[in-house]
C-alpha cells in the first residue's frame, strides 16, 4: 500500500490549523499498513500527539453496545423481538408524536418497541440537538441529550417523551443505543461499563477502552474554538466517572484498541460468533433506506448507505467517495471515523478531537461548513487510492 498522499493530507490539515492533531491507522489483512501521528495532543499547551492518546469516541461507542447486545442474543438470554418494556416497564405507555406543521399530535403505538428497533434505529427515538422539528424540540426541552443526567432521570424523562415515528416506520438516528445500554443493565443486573469490560474489552485486549480516561495526561483535547465556525468547543468531561453509562456517546479509547474491535468484527474472531458478526454489519433497513434518503440531511448514512445494527452499510456504488458494496462505517461527533471493507480486508480509522458544531446546531448553514464530512470522504478516498 502507498499511503503517502494520506500522510500528506493529514499533515496539511494540521499545518493549516484545521485539526489540532490526529492518530490514523490503516490495516490490511489484519496487519497494520499505516500509522500516522499528527499535531498536538493538547494544542493549548503545545503537547505533541502520541500514538496511545485517548479520544472521546461519542457515537463510535454505539457499535460497542450493539455488539454487546448480540452477545446476549448468542447466549439465548435476549431476543431481538423482545419488547423494551419487558426489561424497562416504564416504557409501556409510549406514544408517537405525529408532527402536523408545528404541532405534535399524539397517537398510540401500532406495535411495541423492540430490541431490534433499538439496534437499527427504527425505534422512533430522536436527538433534540441534531436538526429541527416539533418533536425534537420536546427532546431539547426535556434535556435528554445532556450528559449529566443520572440513569434514573434519563429513563424517566425519555419514557415521558413521544416517539417521532411509529416503531419500524423510519430510520431515525437518536437515543436508541443509550436506551439499549440501560436495557442490558436491567437484563443482567450489571453496569454497562462492567458488561463491556467483561464481554468485549478484556477478551480483545482493549486495555484503554471504557467510559473514563483513567490517564488524563493522555487525553486528546480540541482547539478552544472550532476553526470553521468560531464556536467555543466543550467536549464530554471524561476525566471522572460519568453520572450514567451513555451507550450512545460516552466511550473513550485509543486507535489501537478500536482497531482490535473492528478486526474482531471483520474476521468473526472475537466476542461474537462469525454469523452474528456478519449479521450485525448487513443492511437491516431494506425498503426503509430509499424512503429515508427522501428526508434529506437528517438521514445520516448518506447516499449509497443503509444501516445495519449500529453501523452504516454500503449498499450501492453511488456516494461521495470510493467504497466496495458491503463496506461498513461510522463516525463520532468528536472528530472520529472508521470504515471496514471486508472484501479488501481493510480496517481504517482516524481519531481526532475537532468537531464541527455549526452543521448540527445551525443546520440551515451546514452547506457552508462541513469540515467533518469532507475529512471523512477524503480519508476514505485516499485509503482506496493507496491500494492501487
Active site residues: 59
Q: How far is CA 335 from CA 134, 157, 200, 320, in A?
A: 28, 29, 23, 19
Cβ pair 278, 272 in contact under 8 A: no
> Which DSSP category does 131 fall into?
S
Kindly state the cell numbers that stand for 307: 444501516
> Which DSSP category does 162 fall into?
P
Calpha distance 259→327 (Å, rounded):
15
Residue holding cell 443546520?
Answer: 363
> Helix or strand or coil: residue 301?
coil
Cβ pair 244, 193 in contact under 8 A: no
Sequence-ordered list of residues with C-beta below 8 angstroms from that of 40, at least 6 positions apart, any chain: 14, 20, 21, 46, 47, 48, 49
3-state secondary structure 162-214: CECCCCCCCCCCCCHHHHHHHHHHHHHCCCHHHHHHHHHHHHHCCCCCECCCC
**E strands, the chain, where?**
21-28, 31-42, 47-48, 55-58, 95-100, 103-108, 251-253, 305-307, 312-314, 328-332, 336-341, 346-352
Sequence-ordered list of residues with C-beta below 8 angstroms from that of 326, at least 6 positions apart, any chain: 281, 313, 314, 341, 342, 343
Q: How many CB atoms lie within 10 A of CB 79?
A: 13
Sequence-ordered list of residues with C-beta below 8 angstroms from that of 14, at least 6 positions apart, any chain: 20, 21, 22, 38, 39, 40
Q: How far is CA 37 from CA 330, 336, 351, 376, in A?
A: 21, 14, 10, 17
Amino acid at each position: 500500500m502507498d499511503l503517502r498522499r494520506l500522510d500528506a493530507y493529514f499533515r496539511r490539515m494540521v499545518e493549516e490549523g484545521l485539526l489540532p492533531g490526529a492518530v490514523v491507522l490503516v490495516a490490511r489483512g489484519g496487519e497494520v499498513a499505516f500509522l500516522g501521528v499528527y499535531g498536538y495532543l493538547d494544542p493549548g499547551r503545545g503537547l505533541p500527539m502520541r500514538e496511545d492518546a485517548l479520544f472521546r469516541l461519542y457515537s463510535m461507542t454505539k457499535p460497542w453496545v450493539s455488539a454487546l447486545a448480540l452477545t446476549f442474543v448468542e447466549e439465548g438470554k435476549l431476543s431481538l423481538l423482545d419488547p423494551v418494556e419487558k426489561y424497562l416497564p416504564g416504557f409501556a405507555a409510549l406514544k408517537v408524536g405525529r408532527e402536523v406543521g408545528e404541532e405534535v399530535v399524539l397517537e398510540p403505538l401500532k406495535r411495541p418497541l423492540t430490541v431490534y428497533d433499538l439496534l437499527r434505529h427504527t425505534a422512533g427515538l430522536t436527538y433534540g440537538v441534531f436538526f429541527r422539528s416539533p418533536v425534537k424540540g420536546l427532546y431539547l426541552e426535556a434535556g435528554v441529550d445532556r450528559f449529566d443526567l443520572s440513569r434514573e432521570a434519563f429513563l424517566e424523562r425519555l419514557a415521558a417523551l413521544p416517539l417521532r415515528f411509529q416503531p419500524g416506520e423510519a430510520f431515525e438516528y437518536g437515543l436508541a443505543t443509550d436506551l439499549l445500554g440501560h436495557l442490558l443493565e436491567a437484563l443482567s443486573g450489571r453496569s454497562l461499563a462492567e458488561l463491556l469490560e467483561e464481554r468485549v474489552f478484556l477478551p480483545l485486549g482493549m486495555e484503554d477502552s471504557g467510559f473514563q480516561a483513567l490517564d488524563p495526561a493522555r487525553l486528546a483535547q480540541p482547539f478552544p474554538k472550532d476553526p470553521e465556525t468560531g464556536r467555543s468547543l466543550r467536549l464530554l468531561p471524561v476525566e471522572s466517572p460519568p453520572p450514567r453509562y451513555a451507550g450512545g456517546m460516552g466511550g473513550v479509547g485509543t486507535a489501537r484498541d478500536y482497531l482490535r474491535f473492528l478486526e474482531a468484527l471483520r474476521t468473526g474472531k472475537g466476542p461474537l460468533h462469525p454469523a452474528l458478526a456478519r449479521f450485525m454489519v448487513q443492511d437491516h433497513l431494506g425498503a426503509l433506506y430509499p424512503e429515508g434518503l427522501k428526508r434529506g440531511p437528517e438521514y445520516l448514512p448518506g447516499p449509497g448507505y443503509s444501516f445495519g445494527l449500529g453501523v452504516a452499510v454500503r449498499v450501492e456504488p453511488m456516494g461521495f467517495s470510493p467504497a466496495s458494496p458491503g463496506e461498513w462505517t461510522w463516525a463520532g461527533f468528536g472528530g472520529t471515523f472508521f470504515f471496514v471493507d471486508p472484501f479488501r480486508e481493510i480496517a481504517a480509522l482516524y481519531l481526532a478531537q475537532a468537531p464541527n458544531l455549526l452543521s448540527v446546531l445551525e443546520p440551515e448553514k451546514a452547506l457552508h461548513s462541513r469540515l467533518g464530512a469532507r475529512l471523512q470522504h477524503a480519508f476514505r478516498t485516499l485509503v482506496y487510492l493507496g491500494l492501487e
